Amino acid sequence: MERIGYYDIDSSAELNSIREGEVMEEPEMAERVVEDTLFVAVASKVRESKSTVLWALQNSQGNQICIIHVHQPAQTISVLGGKFPISSLGEQEVRAHGETER
């Protein structure tokens, strides 16, 4: 199975570079793959997206399905029974909390 290359896009949404060791397809082929793919966004809980995934399976017409989940980091951190906005905490506190949550 041939690996498809991809672009690493930086935060300014500009094309940055092609990852080392990846194969990049010809533009026409890449466009066809995207056109033949049904992209489906899902929630973090399976039950919330079950009907969406079922719809995609029933309507994909044999095309590939790409399931996408966008992680949204927490906006608050629970500390000592209270919730604090992440913006009010220092970088070290946020990192420490992230390490303990893993």
Claim to verify: residue 15 and residue 30 sit in the same structural domain: yes
- pTM over 0.85? The answer is no
Claim to verify: residue 10 and residue 30 sit in the same structural domain: yes
Write the pLDDT tens digit of every residue in 33-82: 567 888 898 988 878 889 999 999 998 888 888 988 888 778 888 877 88
Structural domain of 30: 1-35
| Spatial separation of the C-alpha atoms in residues 34 and 26, rounded to whole Å | 13
- Structurally, how many domains does the chain consist of? 3
| Angle ∠(33,31,42) on CA atoms, nearest 5 | 55
